[in-house]
Structure 1
């Protein structure tokens, strides 16, 4: 595991833009830095899962289609949680006008491939996608939104097997600026991706137990 000093060095020196696809995978998709990914996921998923994330296992980011003429799916960061859920984290800088359907397709691929021959439908693993966007997509004012399957009349949720998170960084960047010490863990991670911190704030963010725990 990396020390907090080492994590700060990599967060500060090697990621000029946290939303860059290569930089994102370098920080969040490597086994030697999995404690950073674990902390990030715990910040965003604790309320949904109702438990802390204690471990993750990285998975192959390529999902090979069942049919020869099927579309190959390449995810940014894919992992299984120790509690059984599977997660895909995507960063998207350009609005290609396909995000709503694209995220459903990624989710469906993960959900489909979680069931092996001979298993029952009870063995399906809940699938979660987290989309970190450098553009605005959804109508709500808050920078974070979660979608699932529910009855629109009663609000009754079918189950927790589908969770689609959208993090719209421009909306967070427009909010009144807080001190790092006043932010929640989730807000600290959004501040990191907004990439508007000075060197002191960036160091405070990386060294804080609430933001990135070792």
Structure 2
């Protein structure tokens, strides 16, 4: 099955570089290109791609607003945000808007291509450092204190798993920390995704912070 991608960036050179890599790779193709957030939304409505690779800052409608519309109208389409990371204060807003991935433009094009496959498969991907920025954002806007933090309706074990997901641990790392098998850890994450109506792992990270399970001081 071919992964269909829409490229949305107001810099033609960025789109050209991504297209060059994608066009030379089996199993993935560029379905369309957009130079603004508005065009990205329109193309997504028309083409229903698997993934939109989108710059967070574009003229007119930015990537955050576009991602929010795409997530609401075409939930099967995954959005990967691209940004000049150190200059951007909108990581948390982008993830809450519905982005399933967040990458920096100075990453190798091949790494961005790998991210397309990861996100298209239903997983989520964060560039190194994104968890740190999430922590900094929550430090400015801390979650309210709770005697027993955690979303309602989950078990004690699931609460432990959600805490570790919020700290950025992989399934293998969660398994090692809790002394369970990787398959069991994966099952717990799957149950959390279903119970909390979360589209992907990124949403679980956000929920862990919002529930007070993870804070900058822990």
TM bin, normalised by shorter chain, reads under 0.3
- TM-score normalised by the chain length of structure 1: 0.27
What's the TM-score, normalizing by structure 2? 0.27
